Chains A and B, each alone.
Chain A
Amino acid sequence: GTEPLNHDEL
């Protein structure tokens, strides 16, 4: 996809 991926972990 063109949306940036959400990395919610640290």
Chain B
Amino acid sequence: MNIFRLTGDLSHLAAIIILLLKIWKSRSCAGISGKSQILFAMVFTTRYLDLLTAYISLYNTSMKIIYIGCSYATVYLIYAKFKATYDGNHDTFRVEFLVVPVGGLSFLVNHDFSPLEILWTFSIYLEAVAILPQLFMISKTGEAETITTHYLFFLGLYRALYLINWVWRFYFEGFFDMIAIVAGVVQTILYCDFFYLYVTKVLKGKKLSLPA
């Protein structure tokens, strides 16, 4: 565990909590892509199946349970409790265009051709692109609430910190996971355009709105 990995995990946790609180406090999930949240619930479910087979540490187990629990709670709030506020008309990204190729790729490129390992690989590839329905929704409506942009910022920051963590682990531990690194780089690149808008607009007190 190094400082980049830890702050990455905490940044990820912050993103998840910010989103839950935003929906809970405003009693509304307007502007939030339910599809991205379902994809993240799938990511955590398929990745953390090793909760049943391997014990790594109390930290590892607790964080996994918190991530899974929060992601299901978020999906529940969007599709059940505050369903009336869900903006389904703007959440039109075709998720099968992500899930099917990602599923195929995880069968073809993995560390080990075993069920748990293929599901882990699937989760890594899926996480890299799971935010696309949310970014697509923002590009469609042309704007995002400031609190939603904070959520996206922490979610992107988490992966950027993980990249530094992997450089660190490569130099100091000789650790190198090509699948996680390539997917992590792709995932971080997807946030670059958003990071630019976040720094140039949101941090200067303006609402994130895209030119028509």
Contact = CB atoms under 8 A, between A and B. Distances in A.
Given A4-B53, A4-B54, A5-B117, A10 B9 contact: yes
Interface string B1-27: 000010001001000000000000000
A10 B116 contact: no
Contacts of A5: 111-112, 117, 120
Contacts of B117: 4-5
Interface of A: 1, 4-10
A10 B62 CA distance: 11
Contacts of A8: 56-57, 60
Nearest to A6: B54
Contacts of B47: 7
Contacts of B120: 5, 7
Interface string B147-159: 0000000000000
Interface of B: 5, 9, 12, 47, 50, 53-54, 56-57, 60, 63-64, 67, 111-112, 114, 116-117, 120, 162, 165, 180
Contact of B67 (A1, A7, A9, A10): A10
A8 to B, nearest CB: 5
Contact of A10 (B54, B60, B111, B114): B60
A2 to B, nearest CB: 8
Given A4-B50, A4-B112, A9-B5, 15 more contacts: A1-B112, A4-B53, A4-B54, A4-B114, A4-B116, A4-B117, A5-B111, A5-B112, A5-B117, A7-B50, A8-B56, A8-B60, A9-B162, A10-B9, A10-B60
A7 B111 CA distance: 11
Contacts of B180: 9
